[in-house]
Structure 1
Amino acid sequence: MESSAIFPLFYLPPVGYFSVLKEFDDELYIEMHEHFPKQTYRNRASVYSPNGVLDLTVPVIRGAKVHTKITEVKISNEFNWQKLHWKTFESCYRNSAYFEYYEDEFSVFYRKKYSHLFEFNMELLQWLMKQLKKDIDYNFTEEYIKEVGPGLDLRSKWRVNEVIKGADYKPYYQVFDDRQGFKPNLSIVDLLFNQGPQSRSYF
């Protein structure tokens, strides 16, 4: 595992996640022994709304002083967050070129009830890889490894609210870019809904 990268498991990961993923597609691990960190894309995704970038958050049940293993983090279903997320996707992407192309399969994730965040994110990641035609051979970590080789520990990469330079990402058409311009590194669904099957050639 010395030359293998360790990736976090995100909710609808940003585009940059998949750009890096392809660099390690034959030797990567998905972290499943870390403690759940706050303010990350593990339960958050960014989309392009009519008013700009909007973050969608999957609510989780977590004690304030308890370190919870990522695979044990439970989703809070006290209110219908899935309905809220789906309505947001519709308002943001209903007029995109390919929303209807993915709608039937994608909507399943917002009708099915999930109890754990890791399971939900994993099923979404597998679906996303299928849409992007990414046949990636990945494994899961068997323990938490604190020290990882340079450039291989990606668990702290892609922080929420970090400044993203648009020049680092190839622009593509976005539904509202006539209002606020191109927004880089949003959730991969922004790329999918706007570019469809051509998304895989983006990388």
Structure 2
Amino acid sequence: MMNIIIHPTYFPNIKHFVAMANADEVCFEMDDNFIKQTYRNRTNIYGANGKLTLNIPVSYSQKNRQKYRDVKIFNEEKWQLNHWKSLESAYKTSPFFEFYEDELQPLFTTKQDYILDFNLKCFEVICDCLQLDLNFTKSETYQKEINDKTDFRPLVNAKKESTPNFDSYTQVFSSKHGFIPNLSILDLLFNEGPNALNYLESQQLNAI
């Protein structure tokens, strides 16, 4: 039995999903403090010029500690429209963009208030697209040391990343910039479609 604890992030990257797809039980960390420069509010896709980071703007000040679940999205910026346009221009020629478009587009047209709630919504939609039936729970208190689960919470750090040794798959712009590993799950979904889950289950995640 592999039980893991992990952060809900914005359209999680492949590492996150490999960890979750290969776990028996997934516990989402719900009670930590929000930290900037992490995947809590960003994801990377493959644009025409290479890796492109999509950031969700949040109303957050580093001065006062704030729980992740209490952080509001800064909706004065038209981030949803911009993110959807970026996804369209990056993936409209991919084999499966149209296949999943109708399921994903409402996430970018309905106003979202809290970043954690929105990330969980995105996660549910992605699980539907992948046909991944995950057994997950939510943490009730924050524990620095975890003894009964494999702790994958460090994967949230966008700055301290090791490159995973994952199999390559065909990406829209790979003839221009080569294979870029560990992008958002959306990259895998749009390029591999129904095969995406097989891909995730066949990858090994080494120590983080």
Q: How far 1:10 moved relative to its partner?
A: 0.3
Aligned residue number for residue 117 of structure 2: 119
Aligned residue number for residue 194 of structure 2: 197
Is the Cα contact below 8 Å between 1:164 and 1:185 reproduced in 2?
no
Secondary structure of 2:110's counterpart equals coil
Q: How far 1:161 moved relative to its partner?
A: 4.1
* 2:97 paired residue among 92, 99, 108: 99
Aligned residue number for residue 19 of structure 1: 18
Aligned residue number for residue 157 of structure 1: 155
2:190 paired with 1:187: no
Q: Structure 1, residues 68-126: CA drift from partner, whole Å, max 9, x if none? A: 11111100001110010011001100111111111111110000001101111001101
- TM-score normalised according to structure 1 size: 0.93
Q: How far 1:130 moved relative to its partner?
A: 1.4
Secondary structure of 2:196's counterpart equals helix
Alignment of 1:52-201 (within 5 A): 52-149=50-147, 152-165=150-163, 168-201=165-198
What amino acid does structure 1 have at the position aligned with 2:157? Answer: R
Where does the alignment leave 5 or more consecutive residues of structure 1 unmatched? none
Is the Cα contact below 8 Å between 2:13 and 2:43 reproduced in 1?
yes
Is the Cα contact below 8 Å between 1:98 and 1:195 reproduced in 2?
yes
What amino acid does structure 2 have at the position aligned with 1:186? Answer: L
- TM-score normalised according to structure 2 size: 0.91
Q: How far 1:22 moved relative to its partner?
A: 2.3
Q: How far 1:158 moved relative to its partner?
A: 4.7
Aligned residue number for residue 204 of structure 2: none
Secondary structure of 1:160's counterpart equals coil
Of 49-58 and 144-153, more deviation after overlay is shown by 144-153
Q: Distance in 1 between matches of 2:3 and 2:172?
A: 37
Q: How many pairs are equivalent? A: 199
Alignment of 1:41-56 (within 5 A): 41-56=39-54
- In the TM superposition, structure 1's runs of 4+ consecutive aligned residues that sit over 3 Å from their partners are 161-166
Of 127-136 and 110-119, more deviation after overlay is shown by 127-136
